[in-house]
Chain A
Amino acid sequence: MAADIVSADPTLLTGRTGRLSPVNRRRWDNFKANRRGFWSFWIFLVLFGLSLGAEFIANDRPILVSYKGELLVPALVQYPEEKFLGDLGFLAITDYSAPEISEEIKANGWMIWPPIRYSYQTANSNIPHSAPTKPFWLMDKAERCSGYPQGENDPGCTLGNLNWLGTDDQARDVAARMIYGFRISVLFGLCLTIASAIVGVTAGAVQGYFGGWTDLLLQRFIEIWSSMPVLYILLIIAAILPPGFFILLGIMLLFSWVGFVGIVRAEFLRARNFEYVRAARALGVNNRTIMFRHLLPNAMVATLTFLPFILSGSITTLTSLDFLGFGMPPGSASLGELISQGKSNLQAPWLGLTAFVVMSVMLSLLIFIGEAARDAFDPRKTFR
């Protein structure tokens, strides 16, 4: 029927046309056609890009300092107090918000602060009442500055020093922790997703391509492996090994790669009998090249469609471990810890609400992107 119609492409191009093959160009167009996913993609990229520069957005050290004609970058380099106070300074780390330092710098130059003057572990020592503190816009001017020595007229009571989203129970700025928490969640999710994709795709590819005993044995192993109670094993291992980004990544990788094996194996099983694969074999192309050049692109469609969903799954797993207290080491910025603080401080709803909004926005964006990716790789999808 419709397949009978030969649709001659009027825009036949001569010469090699960029890096995008027509297949990929169609996919990109399909991706763009899903407006929600397309916008989610850009919003997510911007948010993630911003959070990568978190040190320049939320930091207890200025971005740039001009001191006695010298340009310093405290956000990236730790300068000892000695640098500004001479023999009077004895601390290895300078507290730029301390009055003597800021006055010394102001007298001899200038400094640019990031919009939020707290890092994820800086405790605000000038909180108006006991922690957790309310967001500043829930208090009037007198109350919000009451923690500062000179009250309303204190030069330290500026927008950047106030806690936009309040503080947690250790007087740490929630906004700063949110930004760093978002970054670490996404980075963790990305690392885990990429690592498990590499392991899973390799395992699936080997199984699908070689088949036979290789396939049989690995399949049985995966069946046993994936029937383990993952969360309990994670808890046990996390209780024995010291918690940390890479330890957690390793532990979760042990189980998360299995998700990719099925789809990749199926794609390889299907595609290894394609005529162009057979043709490549007849040309004498070796197995590895055939797998990479001819089969992997087929499997990548399924894998890429899967990626955003695995990514959001990884983020959720990290958050739940953090919530239970088996995740990232104490003190690190984590959304799971923020949720658990919200649970134990019900009188401070800004804690739980912030964590909820960040998580839901992040996960929704990823799901929308995932949907758009799925559309993009669907060869039968048509848009009218």
Chain B
Amino acid sequence: MSTTMTDTLLSVRNLSVAFHQGGKTSTAVDGISFDIKRGEVVALVGESGSGKSVSANSILKLLPYPAASHPSGEILFNGKDMMTASDAELRQVRGNDITMIFQEPMTSLNPLHSIERQIAEILDLHQGITGAAARARVLELLNQVGIREPEKRLAAYPHELSGGQRQRVMIAMALANRPELLIADEPTTALDVTVQAQILELLKQLKDDHGMSMLFITHDLGIVRKIADRVCVMTKGKIVETGPTAEIFANPQHAYTRHLLASEPKGVPPVSDTSKPVVMQAQDMKVWFPIKAGFLRKVVDHVKAVDGIDLTLRAGQTLGVVGESGSGKTTLGLALTRLISSKGRISFIGNEIAGYSFKQMRPLRNRMQIVFQDPFGSLSPRMAISDIVAEGLKVHEPALSEKERDARVAAALEEVGLDAATRWRYPHEFSGGQRQRVAIARAMVLKPQFVMLDEPTSALDMSVQAQVVDLLRDLQAKHSLAYLFISHDLKVVRALANDMIVMRLGKVVEQGPSERIFTAPEDDYTKALMAAAFNMEAVDVPAVRQ
């Protein structure tokens, strides 16, 4: 390494951030210090609420002042203190020396401007490049970030690009002024695994080409291992451990780091057993949404969200449904539970439910339950936990007395590991993991035979994820439940599902025992998915989109 590489580019000393709201002050970041050297990638790792994003935003002073304030600390960038810099000086640094890319590429781009205009605007603003020179530079940047056929993409608007392409455009904008430091705030969290692998690859390569430093904010330890030189582990507003990546992963010192490293979903799925009774069976399932056009709204084509899927699910077994966003896995689940209409045969514990009306379905609803992805959205904020859990009981077992119902609710809450004494509280008083437990309790209180789990762990922090996976496995063993487990997270699927379906664009790519698919995937797409999920490696096969 050259001598310039050891120079300290950014030095954060004893930084604190406090938020004031309604007379209350909460400290989000509490005296953190870290350095970033030239050409180095530093990862800030922590779970949600640990203060990592707030720390990153304070570097460019992007917090909502005056609601936010810095009780202490200094941020030295190239030896200059950003805390005392004037607004004009800060504007010089922002977008020029230090740039940021954010988690959600859709909302970070202006939907009304073309790609070319958005990138050219930055060039004009900081370097005064306009006209043909600007266009040439935009093309060069788009080439650098790996957008295919950039000439054709210049006039495109953000909604015409895929999530991965949008994030590439964001990176192009960030690179436009050859920054010294790139702050990436969860840049791949909203992306599919295969696209995530591509973006990580790209960032790594850009860093090597430009000698740029990077501050990488993430909750995903896999990404850290892949990209970072050094790691700062954050929890509750403090950095508890700092060190070279390899060292931290090999020999974690702090209890929290060890806890974090140990929190990947573990355990084994139930053993496949074809002697168990079939709970749910579907043949040639199709969900086609019509595309209508013209004055008379004639159906010209269909969006084939689910296109001819067969599946069999037995008691006490888990069928994992894996695929990227838009592959139709949630649609499949909703069609199986008859929440949307579909074609094809569905039989559920001996009932041919494909043609059933909502009324005919009602007596069966307590046998099939759903747990949704977002524990914040799936609980009504206006109802106490006990009312939420009791809702299904009121429909299916109206004969229960108030007392019996309350006892059932309390038992269900205890079963999912919540204190029954908290059942009069409202959802907002619970953490994400606890809320997901409530959602599981709502399903379990009806003693179902089949539960559709729609990405139940995706919105949760790593360590909580592992707990929820354990809980689901225990409940399955105890009640011999049949799970349809929908997820894009292959690690969780491996820990829960004994059979799996890999979906792509509504069709089955590969289907079979998960053991076999994980160890010896046959299809190219499955292989790419595995490589991206477990090794963060981008595989260039036609099946993987950009």
Contacts and interface: CB of A to CB of B under 8 A. Distances in A.
Nearest to A10: B24
Contacts of A297: 382
A32 B372 CA distance: 37
A2 B426 contact: no
Interface in B41-88: 48-54, 57, 62-64, 67-68
B377 A1 contact: no
B384 A21 contact: yes
Interface in A271-309: 274-276, 278-286, 289, 293-294, 297
Given A4-B53, A6-B49, A21-B382, A282 B339 contact: yes
B19 A5 contact: yes
Interface string B413-439: 000000001101110110100000001
Nearest to B46: A4
Contacts of A17: 424
A1 B53 CA distance: 6
B181 interface: no
Interface in B130-164: none
Interface residues of B, number: 56
Contacts of A16: 384, 424
Interface in A1-55: 1-2, 4-7, 9, 12-17, 21-23
Given A274-B377, A282-B365, A282-B369, A1 B424 contact: no
B396 A4 contact: no
A298 to B, nearest CB: 9
A220 interface: no
A8 to B, nearest CB: 9
Given A5-B54, A284-B392, A279 B19 contact: no
Contact of A1 (B57, B361, B383): B57
A275 B372 contact: yes
Given A4-B54, A5-B28, A382 B21 contact: yes
B392 A283 contact: yes
Which range contains the number of A residues in contact with the other chain?
35 or more
Contacts of B429: 9, 12, 22
B188 interface: no
Contacts of A279: 370, 372, 378, 439, 442
A22 B426 contact: yes
Contacts of A2: 19, 54, 63-64, 67-68
Interface in B341-388: 361-363, 365-366, 368-370, 372-374, 377-384
A232 interface: no
A275 B54 contact: no
Interface in A200-247: none
B446 interface: yes
B22 A382 contact: yes
A9 B429 CA distance: 7
Contact of B380 (A6, A13, A276, A286): A276
Contacts of A13: 424-425
A384 B54 contact: no
Given A282-B369, A284-B395, A12 B425 contact: yes
B210 interface: no
A293 B390 CA distance: 13
B20 interface: yes
Contacts of B331: none
A16 B424 CA distance: 5
A5 B366 CA distance: 37
Contacts of B428: 22
Nearest to A294: B380
A4 B64 contact: no
Contact of B381 (A4, A14, A23): A23
Contacts of B377: 274-276
- For A6, A16, A284, A384, the residue with the greatest tally of chain B CB atoms inside 10 Å of its CB is A284
A37 B54 CA distance: 36
B290 to A, nearest CB: 13
Contacts of B421: 14
A7 B365 contact: no
Nearest to B23: A384
B378 A276 contact: yes
A14 B384 CA distance: 12
A148 B28 CA distance: 80
Contacts of B251: none
A142 B412 CA distance: 85
Interface string A102-124: 00000000000000000000000
B382 A281 contact: no
A6 B19 contact: no
A382 B68 CA distance: 14
B48 A4 contact: yes
Nearest to A282: B370
Contacts of B384: 16, 21
Interface in B155-206: none
B372 A285 contact: no
B22 A383 contact: yes
A145 to B, nearest CB: 60
B273 interface: no
A334 B177 CA distance: 72
Contact of A275 (B57, B365, B378, B422): B378
Contacts of B4: none
B442 A21 contact: no
B391 interface: yes
B353 to A, nearest CB: 13
B526 interface: no
- For A2, A5, A285, the residue with the greatest tally of chain B CB atoms inside 10 Å of its CB is A5
B207 to A, nearest CB: 25
A6 B237 CA distance: 11
Given A13-B424, A278-B372, 15 more contacts: A2-B67, A14-B424, A16-B424, A22-B428, A275-B372, A275-B374, A275-B378, A281-B339, A283-B369, A283-B446, A284-B366, A285-B391, A285-B392, A286-B362, A384-B20
Interface of B: 19-22, 24, 26, 28, 48-54, 57, 62-64, 67-68, 337, 339, 361-363, 365-366, 368-370, 372-374, 377-384, 391-392, 395-396, 421-422, 424-426, 428-429, 431, 439, 442, 446
29 contacts: A1-B57, A1-B62, A1-B63, A1-B64, A2-B54, A4-B51, A12-B429, A13-B425, A14-B424, A21-B382, A22-B426, A22-B429, A275-B372, A275-B373, A275-B374, A275-B378, A276-B380, A278-B339, A279-B378, A279-B442, A283-B392, A283-B396, A284-B361, A284-B363, A284-B366, A293-B383, A293-B391, A384-B20, A384-B22
Interface of A: 1-2, 4-7, 9, 12-17, 21-23, 274-276, 278-286, 289, 293-294, 297, 382-384
